[in-house]
Structure 1
């Protein structure tokens, strides 16, 4: 059997392809599409390369496209893919590079129910618009001030403001993607309802842990949902209810609703993927989006998936690009893996050197495992250093350098291996990816 996770370099974002089935009859899924030009420069060329290698003169069928959440560094490439298909509606589907069976996408409309339509029409353009593909710096500054006013330390306020501004910048893309989906579904270019099989009364519903069926079988691939939790979605709804309904619909009210650490990224889908290879050995992948590590562990315990002190998966995609703000040392003692995937290029300091230290120290010197980075450590360091110095701060190589940390850890006898650079593939089945 074939089971391969492909990691596409996506700047500061995520873009993953999953291939399973058999080498002769492979199935494909896309998890996130990265920001900016990732679709045009990386994802679409890779899709066309797969088509050419397989000798296809028809679109590549994606059995599943999943958007973990609406940050622009996850959703933009998927929006472009769907917009490209939508532009061809009325012509032959054969002209499209892909056709999609199902889309998993927790849209902001569904998270906030009907209130979001009024919100979107009246105030979105005034404060969520990106600037050159980046989150709006004016909004980031406003949110940072709100966190500082709540007593948050400067570094925490900067991080939370960045997260919030990314989410806000991604909301128009989320709505555009939903609109493209509806056009494609009406034209019978997409087979299943939104978020199928997670549906209610025949219509797509939010994917969440405790209000929908937890698991799905997609052409032999088993997927179980471990985030978001209903209580988290309700917290996000309550925040908007409190500020928007009581204080009126305006920019300041909406920003105030986000000025809480518990709100950002709570809609992130956490998905546990499983399949047996030809020898019957289970292979598992934990896809975490930008969820918080403590929330992931809480959900795994609540659902009795994690019943002891720890659990092991074959592949762990680190949450939020390896940010130390979403993780703590106990995350790496609670969830261990054979392969750790970190998608980040140094922007915003991701991955944090602290995160890698926690991982390596948790596993100890004798453990053998693999770490995958989408960019070279020296390039990650260079971008991080430039960003630190642009803010008038000091780059401390001893505590911040990924490259230096890896060299030091290897010299001390730690046995992990790390892989870096362009498209990386992790083959888990007894068949390997032939293209």
Structure 2
């Protein structure tokens, strides 16, 4: 059994994956969407019996608000909801500080530092290490000297191959993170200033336990913080976001470049399911990693499904990347808010690659003005593709 759901995360990502035998389901959660969509994720957790709220892996792909904020709220609620995470993958200040850099300076960004505090608090609560567990040097990246891409086996016969970020992308993020804090007037580790900002809003509060109480929730007050401030989308700023007329593969966001992306294979030895889960990664990084996986320079990576990077942005898709994969199912997570994703040229590039062959299948988790163009059944028949939109709270494949 393998199932993937795209929960309603507005303009962000929140992917819920289940696999394994019917009597032993394994789960992976990738990102949590922006703060205001967290109730949908929380409701999905509550649909499980309390004894089954166990995740083999939680992945926070990068620091952008539309991926990280829901996880900040979830980790505060984790104890009250009986949520257990065996591994949490996220590259924060401790990991970036270890990336080889001639300057060698410590760094941090507010959203990343907040999440780092919560992960550390969760580890203390669990009494075991979960942060980037299974990764070399406890950093989720492809080392510059690595001969092969990092491979991690999860319980339940699942294998993950890391495709992004590479060493250079993390180094660039490290070099610019301190600059962003300087613009915000905050020094890394300046707890007094952070506390003052955190107390100015209630944006990222947990929702408490199932009865509405929050006494048992994991609170930042225990660490000397009141997590109420709404942090800016620091390195993933909306400024300069590529529009629909941008060149293919033109993303320059350092936050997106640092995004964790991986190939999921199940069962691991003779996979019948292969998913490329791309976060907001750069297409050039994905293409380079895929080339390392292929036995021949002209071959294609056969995939069951591809979760498009950056919500179907033209800047995170390229003809070169698509030429290296053979895929039918394409997942696009967005309601089109803020940036009008997906870009029509990106979706049309997918259909053009199929050229009316093999029936491309487009999976959207919203039916909105930016996704309705591909809901026309006559157009689907004429160009031999299928499009799916959610009939309930989420789209399930």
Q: TM-score, normalised by structure 2?
A: 0.73
User: Structure 2 matches for 1:270-289, cutoff 5 A?
Assistant: 270-276=261-267, 280=270, 282-289=272-279
Contact 1:209 / 1:225 at 8 angstroms: preserved in 2? no
Looking at structure 1, the residues matched to 261 and 378 of structure 2 have their Cα atoms a distance apart, in angstroms, of 30
State the shift of 1:418 in Å: 0.9
Which of 215, 220, 224 is 2:151 aligned to?
Answer: 215
Matched, 1:380 2:316: no
Relative distance call for 1:24 and 1:172 in structure 2 (3 A) is: same
Contact 2:27 / 2:57 at 8 angstroms: preserved in 1? yes
Tell me the alpha carbon deviations over residues 291-317 of structure 1, each in whole angstroms, 9 at most, x when there is no partner.
121221012214546732432210100
Matched, 1:232 2:225: no
Matched, 1:63 2:59: no
Looking at structure 2, the residues matched to 352 and 418 of structure 1 have their Cα atoms a distance apart, in angstroms, of 16
Name 2:124's counterpart in structure 1.
186
Relative distance call for 1:303 and 1:309 in structure 2 (3 A) is: closer
User: Structure 2 matches for 1:143-162, cutoff 5 A?
Assistant: none
| 1:34 counterpart SS class | coil
Looking at structure 1, the residues matched to 253 and 34 of structure 2 have their Cα atoms a distance apart, in angstroms, of 24
Structure (1/2) with the larger helix percentage: 1
Looking at structure 2, the residues matched to 100 and 240 of structure 1 have their Cα atoms a distance apart, in angstroms, of 28
Name 1:329's counterpart in structure 2.
319
Relative distance call for 1:305 and 1:292 in structure 2 (3 A) is: farther
Which of 39, 42, 45 is 1:44 aligned to?
Answer: 42
Name 1:313's counterpart in structure 2.
303
Relative distance call for 1:211 and 1:187 in structure 2 (3 A) is: farther
Contact 2:97 / 2:105 at 8 angstroms: preserved in 1? no
Tell me the alpha carbon deviations over residues 310-359 of structure 1, each in whole angstroms, 9 at most, x when there is no partner.
32210100010000122223433332312110001112010001111101
Contact 1:29 / 1:62 at 8 angstroms: preserved in 2? yes
Contact 1:209 / 1:228 at 8 angstroms: preserved in 2? no
Looking at structure 2, the residues matched to 50 and 30 of structure 1 have their Cα atoms a distance apart, in angstroms, of 14
Relative distance call for 1:214 and 1:199 in structure 2 (3 A) is: closer
Matched, 1:176 2:114: yes
Contact 2:266 / 2:273 at 8 angstroms: preserved in 1? yes
Q: TM-score, normalised by structure 1?
A: 0.67
Question: Over aligned residues, Cα RMSD in angstroms?
Answer: 3.4
Looking at structure 2, the residues matched to 102 and 211 of structure 1 have their Cα atoms a distance apart, in angstroms, of 25
Looking at structure 1, the residues matched to 174 and 87 of structure 2 have their Cα atoms a distance apart, in angstroms, of 26
| 1:178 counterpart SS class | helix
State the shift of 1:181 in Å: 1.4
Contact 2:57 / 2:85 at 8 angstroms: preserved in 1? yes
Name 1:267's counterpart in structure 2.
258
Looking at structure 2, the residues matched to 274 and 310 of structure 1 have their Cα atoms a distance apart, in angstroms, of 16
Looking at structure 1, the residues matched to 363 and 64 of structure 2 have their Cα atoms a distance apart, in angstroms, of 22
Matched, 1:99 2:84: yes
- The answer for unaligned runs of 5 or more in structure 2 is 188-233, 241-250
| 1:349 counterpart SS class | coil
Runs of 4+, deviation exceeding 6 Å? 114-118, 252-256
Name 2:387's counterpart in structure 1.
418
Looking at structure 2, the residues matched to 409 and 23 of structure 1 have their Cα atoms a distance apart, in angstroms, of 38
Looking at structure 1, the residues matched to 279 and 162 of structure 2 have their Cα atoms a distance apart, in angstroms, of 12
Name 1:354's counterpart in structure 2.
345
Name 1:196's counterpart in structure 2.
133
Relative distance call for 1:250 and 1:80 in structure 2 (3 A) is: closer
Name 2:24's counterpart in structure 1.
25
Higher Cα Rg: structure 1 or 2?
1
Looking at structure 1, the residues matched to 295 and 364 of structure 2 have their Cα atoms a distance apart, in angstroms, of 28
Name 1:293's counterpart in structure 2.
283
User: Structure 2 matches for 1:135-150, cutoff 5 A?
Assistant: none
